[in-house]
Structure 1
Amino acid sequence: MTVRIALATCAAHPDLHEDDFPLVDALRAAGLDPVAEVWTDPSVDWSSYDGVLLRSVWDYHKRYDEFTGWLDLLDKGGVQVFNDTDLIRWNADKRYLLDLRERGVAIVPSQVAAGACLREVVAGLTGQEIVIKPTVSALAHNTIRGVAGSPELDQAIDGLPDAVYLVQPFQPEIVTDGECSLIYLGGTYSHAVVQRPAAGDYRVQFEHGGSVEPVDPPAAVREAAEAALTAAPTRTTPIYARVDGILKAGRFLLMELELIEPYLFLPQHPSATNRLAAVVAERVTAGCRS
C-alpha cells in the first residue's frame, strides 16, 4: 500500500522551500509518497492523503482566520496532521509563552497588550529599550524595537496595525551572543545552532541578514529546552520542535517554542533529514494502521 503524505506549503513556495528538497527524497526512501500542496488551494482533497506535514506554511500569520479554518477542515475530514492541530492552534499565538511561564518555564519577560493598552504598557517602561511584536506573527513581521517614551518609538507604534502585542525588554545577548536554537525530532534532541543578527540589526532570521553556525549546547541548556518542550500541552510527542532562547546570567530563557513549521537548519545538519523522515514515516504508517 502506498502511503501518501501532503507537505503543506504556501503559494510563495508551491514546490516547497529549496532547503526541504532533500527531505522529499528522504521521505521517498522511507517508503512514503510525498506531495507538495499549497495549503490555501481549495482544489486540494486533503482527505486523500494519509497525513499532512506542515513545512513552508510561512504566511499563516497573515491569514490567521483562514489558517485556523483550514485546520478545522482537516479535523472534520479526520486527516492526520503533524504536529497535531490542537498544538498548532496553541502555538500560533505567542501568548503561549505566558502559559509556559505559569508551568514553570523561564521565559524572556513578556507583557501582553492590545489597542490603547499598548501605549499604557509602553509608558510603564519609559527609558527602557524594548521590542514589540504581534502575538500572531512570524519572520519578525510588524516587529519594532526602540526606547520606550522616545518620539521614534511612538512614531513606529503609530504605524502598527490594530492587533494584540507582546512587549518585551530588549535582550542585548541576542547581539552579543546570539540566539540558541535546539532541534528535536520525535521528542529526541537532534542538533543545535546559534543564530546571530547582521551588524546593526537585532533580527536573526535569514530574511533580515542573520547568520547561523552549528553549536553544541551545554547540558544545562538542553535540560531547560527539554523542560520547555515537555510543558507544551500536547496529546502526542511533536514530530519536530525548535526551542529558541538566550543565555542570561547563565540561565536559559525561552524566546520561542516553534511547533508549527519551524525552520530546522537541515542544511547545517544533513544527517537530521533522514532522522526526520524516519520519524514522519513511523508516525504516518502507525496512524494508517490504527
Structure 2
Amino acid sequence: MSVSYTHRLAIATSIAEPGIHPDDKHLVASLKGFGVQTMACIWNDPAVDWTAFDAVLIRSIWDYFKHYASFKQWLAQLPVPTINNKELLLWNSDKRYLIELEKHGVPIIPTQVVSASQLQNTLAAMPAREVVIKPTVSGTAWHTVRGVAGETEFDQAVARLPLELDYLVQPYLPEVASDGEWSLLFFGGEYSHAVIKRPKAGDYRVQSDYGGVAQAAEPSASLLASAARVLEAAAAIGHADGAYARIDGIVSEGRFLLMELEMIEPFLHLGHRADASERFAAHLFKRLSGSASHAGHAVWQAP
C-alpha cells in the first residue's frame, strides 16, 4: 500500500543531530497526516538535492554559528524557500537584533555589543559587576562566560575568547536561577504554549546540555502581552512572516525582559504537547499549500 503526498518538505538538521529530533517526531507524524512528506537533510551536506523539495523547514541546525560564513552562503544559494524565510533567518542569526528591538520599545536585558579587542576596556568600566559575555552569533552557550569584572579568573577566561568574534556584554540577573527563564512559543504569530527553564544548582545555563530542565507553565495575561509585543516589534522592523518563534526572557522587578527571540532553530518543546505539534503542522501545511514553489509539482507516491 502506498501513501500519496502532495508536498515534500526537507527538515534541515546538522551532523550533530542528523535525524529527526525526538522533540519533532509528532510534528513529522502530523505533517504526514496532512499529506506532507518529510526528510531529514543535513544542512551543509553537499549531496542533498534541495530542488527535490517544496521548502526547507529549519530545525536542528545546531552548529550553524560555528560555520557562519558557510551558513550564509548556503542560504543565499538555496533554490527553494525556507521556513522561516531567508531574510528573517539572517536578521535573527546575529543577536544585534536585540538592540533593534529595544529601539522599537521592547525591554531587554541591558546589552552592549563589543568587539573582542574592546572587551577588557568594557569590563574595566564595570568593576565588581557580575556579567555574562556571549558571541553575537552563537547558540547553546557557545563561547559564553560568566563572572565578576576585575576578578583574575574571569579576566583570564575573557582573554581566551576568540578574537575574531563580536560579543554581547550583559549584567547577570539572578532571576535566571531563582525564578527561571520563560520560553513562550508562537506559531504563525499565535501563542501556542510555554515552559519555564531552570539551570541546575550552581549553574546559570538553562540548556539541557548543562543540566537545565524545563517544565510546562501558563503565562499571565501581562506576560503573554509582553511576548506578543516582541513579535509586533519584529514586524515593525520588517520581519512579520514568522512561522515559528520562541520568546525567551525573565521577569525582573515586575517587567518581562527579553533575552532572545529565537526564530532560526529553536527547540520548540513539542515532546509532551501533541496539540502543539498538530497546530504547528496545520500551519506549515497551510503555508506549503499557498507556496508558489509548489505549483507544477506532481503528487508523490511513497511506500
TM-score band, normalised by shorter chain: over 0.9
Partner of 2:228: 226
Contact persistence 1:246–1:253 (CA under 8 A): yes
TM superposition shift of 1:235: 4.9
Partner of 2:136: 135
Partner of 2:187: 185
Partner of 1:147: 148
Q: Is 1:43 the counterpart of 2:47 in the alignment?
A: yes
Partner of 2:30: 26
After superposition, residues 192-207 of structure 1 pair within 5 angstroms as: 192-207=194-209
TM superposition shift of 1:46: 1.1
Q: Could you tell me which runs of 5 or more consecutive residues in structure 2 were left unpaired when the two chains were aligned.
A: 296-303
Contact persistence 1:86–1:234 (CA under 8 A): no
TM-score (norm 2): 0.92
The number of aligned residues is: 287
In structure 1, how many angstroms separate the alpha carbons of the residues matched to 2:277 and 2:252?
A: 31
TM-score (norm 1): 0.96
TM superposition shift of 1:24: 1.3
After superposition, residues 29-178 of structure 1 pair within 5 angstroms as: 29-74=33-78, 77=79, 79-162=80-163, 163-178=165-180
Percent pairwise identity: 47
In structure 1, how many angstroms separate the alpha carbons of the residues matched to 2:94 and 2:219?
A: 27
Q: What is the identity, as a one-letter code, of the residue corresponding to 1:168? A: Q
Quick one: which of 261, 266, 269 aligns to 2:265? 261
1:172-200 deviation digits (Å, cap 9, x = unpaired): 00010000110001110000010000000
1:244-264 deviation digits (Å, cap 9, x = unpaired): 000011000000000001101
Higher relative contact order (CA 8 A, sep 6+): 2
Q: Could you tell me which runs of 5 or more consecutive residues in structure 1 were left unpaired when the two chains were aligned.
A: none
**Structure 1 residue ranges (4+ consecutive) displaced by more than 4 angstroms after TM superposition:** none
TM superposition shift of 1:237: 2.4
In structure 2, how many angstroms separate the alpha carbons of the residues matched to 1:20 and 1:28?
A: 13
In structure 1, how many angstroms separate the alpha carbons of the residues matched to 2:93 and 2:178?
A: 28
Question: Over aligned residue pairs, what C-alpha RMSD do you find?
Answer: 1.2
